[in-house]
Structure 1
Amino acid sequence: MSIRTPLSSHRTGAVTAVALAAVVVLGACSNDSSDSDNAADGATTTPTEAALTGDAPDGSSSGSSGSDGDRCHTSDLDVSVGDPDGAAGSVYRQLIFTNSSDSDCTISGYPGVSLVAGGDTQVGAAADREDTPGEAPVITLSPGDAASADLKISNPGVYGDQCTATPADALKIYPPDEKDSTTVTVDGLTGCTGDDAPVTLRISRLQG
Structure 2
Amino acid sequence: MAKTSYQIEQEFINDINSITGNDLKSWLKIIGETSLSKRNEILNWLKSEHNFRHQDASLLAGIYVNDGKPVYADSGDLLENQFNKKEHLRPLYDTLMEAILKRLPNTRIEAKKTYVSLNAKREYAAIGIKSKEIRLAMDLDGEPNGSDFVKQTGIGCMPRISHMIKLNQASQITDNLLDKMEKAYKRME
The structure with higher relative contact order (CA 8 Å, sep 6+) is 1
**Normalised TM-score (structure 2):** 0.23
Normalized against structure 1, the TM-score is what? 0.22
- Name whichever structure is richer in strand by fraction: 1
